[in-house]
Amino acid sequence: MKSWKKIGLTLMATATALTLSACGGNSSNASGGSNGKVTIQFMHWGGTDTYKGSYKDRIAAFEKANPKINVKVITIGDNYDTKLQTMIAGNKAPDVAQVAEDGTGFASKNAFIDLGSYIKKSNMDLNATYGGASELYKWKGKTFGIPDRGGAAMLYYNKDMFDKAGLKYPDANWTVQDYYDAAKKLTLKDSSGKITQYGSNYADYQLPWGSFLMTNGGSVVKGKKATVETAAAKKTFTDYLKYFKETGVPYQVSEDKVNRFQAKKVAMSFDGMWWIRPNAQIKGLNFGIAPAPGKYAWSTGSALTISRQSDKAHQDASWKFIKYMTGKKAQQLLGHSLYDVPANISVLNSKEFQDQKVNGKKLDLSVIAEDQKRVKIDGILKGPWYTEAMGECTNEVKEMLLGHMTPAQMTKKLQSKLTGILAKY
């Protein structure tokens, strides 16, 4: 999950205001002129580079194809969820808003419209078009968002280190154990026993352990029930702790803020797709990308929503915008030079997307589509409890990795903590 996606969100305090404002039908933020043109507001996170790389060309193409609709862009650099929450509570919600894991928090407070009728009229097959990632944007059986920017947990690896160790590169058939075995062989020590090269950089981040847990048949939350005190979870975290101690970057080292994969001190990096372009800009870094080891991958994408505060005319215009942005033409524009990853699987599978170079480097971009197909949405992502629950997971997994708890103690404590959190919603 990108740093700008790790923003805290506390909806409980403003639940009443949010629900009331969502019924207001306000359209003051989206204007219509006497010339028949409609202006809609679109809000997304990131900075100027994000706007230029992910949206500028697509919006220009949309406005050219839809001359009666203007798009006013709101770019939010930090505290995105908090600012969106404030706008909704003040009855000034943007017509279209980008959301990610915390989307259900807003949807549960009636912030967005149900897109079901639009989807049906457009004859869209969400699962066929976007894969399992589309399940992230549903609340109580209703779809509130259409996947736009894709992505899943993926594996970056240093080819030179693999070559030196005589190891085959990771591929789509890699198991979790293959990953662990490679990490062990790629961990090097000097004559004094000090580690000079780490096998991987996994820690309390949910992308690796969450993917491994799902692959082992486990889950964090299922339905509205915590499910971490299970045999699958205990096995997952027992293995995870063992190999973290043997091959992972310890906290006292990782906290020095150095990107050790880019510094060529770590052989493998388990992270999100947003590192593809930055890694390609590092001189002398000979790296490859592979799907998440195992059967499933943790989602890192985002979707576009329509505000309940907009009137019908602006909702209709907003749907045209969303349909265009998530369609093939606009998704191809999004995929150019990999500022971000398209959510549309047919685009990820296209020759145009896969044949491009990233900062002059040729990468096997076919693995991105494979990775996207592996996305599975755990129940922790399917409710307004996400931020609080995931924060607790991160804390407890870190305590285990620091040696303060055994895997059995950690899963027992986390089960209790999550049960309490879920009971509040």
Question: Residue ranges of the domains in the chain?
Answer: 3-150+301-348, 154-298+379-422
For residue 9, what pLDDT is reported?
Answer: 35
Whether residue 28 has pLDDT greater than 80: no
Select the CATH number that applies to the domain covering 154-298+379-422 from these four: 3.40.50.980, 3.30.2130.10, 3.40.50.410, 3.40.190.10. Answer: 3.40.190.10
- Mutual angle of helices 312-325 and 328-335, in 10-degree steps: 60
pTM: 0.89
Provide mean pLDDT across the span 352-361: 93
Give the dihedral of Cα atoms 359, 336, 51, 331; nearest 10 deg: -160
Whether residue 17 has pLDDT greater than 50: no
Alpha-carbon distance of 292 to 155, in angstroms, equals 6
pLDDT in tens, 53-86: 999 999 999 999 999 999 999 999 999 999 999 9
For residue 252, what pLDDT is reported?
Answer: 75
Percent helix, strand and coil across the chain, each to the nearest 5 = 45, 15, 35
Structure tokens at 260: 């050790």
Alpha-carbon distance of 275 to 349, in angstroms, equals 20
Start-to-end Cα distance in the chain: 24
Q: Which residues contact 32 (CB under 8 A, 6 or more apart)?
A: 38, 39, 313, 314
Closest CA to 109 of 263, 404, 307, 301: 307
Alpha-carbon distance of 412 to 409, in angstroms, equals 5
**Fold match between 3-150+301-348 and 154-298+379-422?**
yes
Give the E-state strand segments of 10-137 in sequence order: 38-45, 69-76, 96-99
What is the CB neighbour count within 10 angstroms for residue 149?
26
The lowest-confidence range among 14-23, 250-259, 402-411 is: 14-23
Place of tokens 């919600």: 93
CATH hierarchy code of domain 3-150+301-348: 3.40.190.10
C-alpha distances out from residue 133 to 81, 101, 123, Å: 20, 11, 18
Alpha-carbon distance of 271 to 187, in angstroms, equals 19
Instruction: Evaluate whether 274 touches 281 at the Cβ level (below 8 Å).
Output: no
Identity at 192, one-letter amino acid code: S
For residue 256, what pLDDT is reported?
Answer: 62
pLDDT in tens, 243-274: 999 999 998 775 567 899 999 999 999 999 99
Whether residue 100 has pLDDT greater than 70: yes
What is the CB neighbour count within 10 angstroms for residue 75?
15
Place of tokens 């897109």: 115
Assign 18 a pLDDT band (cuts: 50, 70, 90): very low
Q: Chain centroid to CA 345: how far?
A: 16
- Mutual angle of helices 231-247 and 386-401, in 10-degree steps: 50
Identity at 237, one-letter amino acid code: F
Classify residue 220 by its DSSP letter: S
Whether residue 13 has pLDDT greater than 70: no
Place of tokens 């303060």: 404
What is the CB neighbour count within 10 angstroms for residue 3?
8
Whether residue 242 has pLDDT greater than 90: yes
Strands of the sheet with 287-291, listed across from one edge: 188-189, 195-200, 266-271, 154-158, 287-291
For residue 245, what pLDDT is reported?
Answer: 96
Closest CA to 29 of 109, 82, 112, 90: 90
- Mean pLDDT, the chain, rounded, equals 91
